[in-house]
Amino acid sequence: MLTDTSVNESKNLKLKIESKNTIILLTHIYSITMATSSELLDKDIMYLLQYNSKILLEIAAITTTILNDKQQQLQLCKWTDGESNTDTEFSELACRCAEEAWLSVRQQYPQLNTITMISNIPDINCTFSKNGKTIKVPKNKIELKSSKNQVMPGSTIGKLDINQPLIYCHRPKNAEKSYVIRYGQYHTAMGESDQELFQDRTPRPQLNFAKLYTSSQTEVVYSEKKKDDWIPHYGKCAVNRLKNNVNYSWQDTLTKSIVFEALQNIENMTREELIKLRESFSPTLL
């Protein structure tokens, strides 16, 4: 049987529990309200983050159009300074054009009207901010390349982001001709041909100017590729070299040896071993 004291203690405990639950509920409501207010307040930032890659590619496209109209400034640039081959003056010009391009992007996307952007060398490194505070975005770099040739060595594949935007300036060999600038994503330009040799070190896939987009091609869709997507390309090239009449390389003999050894082993494999081998392959290699 409950005494008056135990009844009062029970009531007090119930009040404490209800009070605690009320505080938890109010805290939860407050956090939701604050989150909603923050989301409404920073809707422009959320838009920038959500479409970061697409917006960066759009900046590259418009920058390419502006650069193609800067023939006189391009002629005045000092190219390939020092061993680093940084093309500083071209990069500075491209950064100014990128900042001009950002104004066009903001006109296309009113959601970004409160966001400012400045760009810095080397290449085009974009810094976005709102009310003087920097906005951290996943991707902020547009790679710059320049050459008098339509095909040039690319960057080492190891730490390379193959999905980043790329602007390629094809410099004229004859001073009377124009500079031609194209753009795309890095992976768009990768690969010289379908019969190129693979490299016997960390690969530096060739960049092919002809594979990139002209400034008039504005409806380019951003596409994401995995880090190892370049490997099947070299596998196909190796087989193509065996099937076609090309200048001999020691790699052709190596490919024949790999194919021969693979066939020898496959012939002696059980069905279970073949299934296991297939499952061990990366999806990009199938």
207 and 79 together in one domain: yes
Asked if residue 261 and residue 175 are part of one domain, the reply reads no
Domain membership flag for residue 223: yes
Q: Is pLDDT above 90 for 58?
A: yes
In this model, does residue 133 exceed pLDDT 80? yes
- Report the number of distinct structural domains present in the chain: 2
Phi, psi of 252 (to 5 degrees): -65, -40
- 135 and 222 share one domain: yes
What is the 3-state secondary structure of the chain? Answer: CCCHHHHHHHHHHHHHHHHHHHHHHHHHHHHHHHHHHHHHHCHHHHHHHHCHHHHHHHHHHHHHHHHHCCHHHHHHCCCCCCCCCCCHHHHHHHHHHHHHHHHHHHHHCHHHCCCEEEEECCCEEEEEEECCEEECCCCCEEEEEEECCCEEECCCCCCCCCCCEEEEEECCCCCCCCCEEEEEEHHHHECCCCCCCCCCCCCCCEEEHHHCECCCCCCCCCCCCCHHHHHHHHHHHHHHHHHCCCCCCHHHHHHHHHHHHHHHHHHCCCHHHHHHHHHHCCHHHC
Q: Are residues 272 and 162 in the same domain?
A: no
The least confident of 134-143, 179-188, 264-273 is: 264-273
**Pair 131, 262 in one domain:** no
61 inside domain: yes
Q: Does residue 7 lie within any of the structural domains?
A: no
Q: What is the pLDDT of residues 66-115, one digit of tens each?
A: 999 999 999 999 887 443 445 789 999 999 999 999 999 999 998 999 99
User: Do 107 and 140 share a domain, yes or no?
Assistant: yes
188 and 87 together in one domain: yes
Q: Is residue 21 part of a domain?
A: no
Residues 220 and 257 in one domain: no
pLDDT, one tens digit per residue, over 241-258 is 888 888 888 778 878 888
| Chain segment 204-226, per-residue pLDDT in tens | 677 888 889 998 887 888 888 87
What is the structure's pLDDT at 264? 80
Residue 6 lies in a domain: no
The structure's pTM equals 0.61
Residue where one domain finishes, among candidates 227, 259, 274:
227
Do 76 and 168 have their domain in common? yes
**Is residue 181 located within the same domain as residue 277?**
no
Identify which has the larger pLDDT, 279 or 56: 56
Q: For residue 136, give its domain range.
A: 43-227
| Per-residue pLDDT at 49 | 92
Residue 33 lies in a domain: no
38 vs 120: which has the higher pLDDT? 120
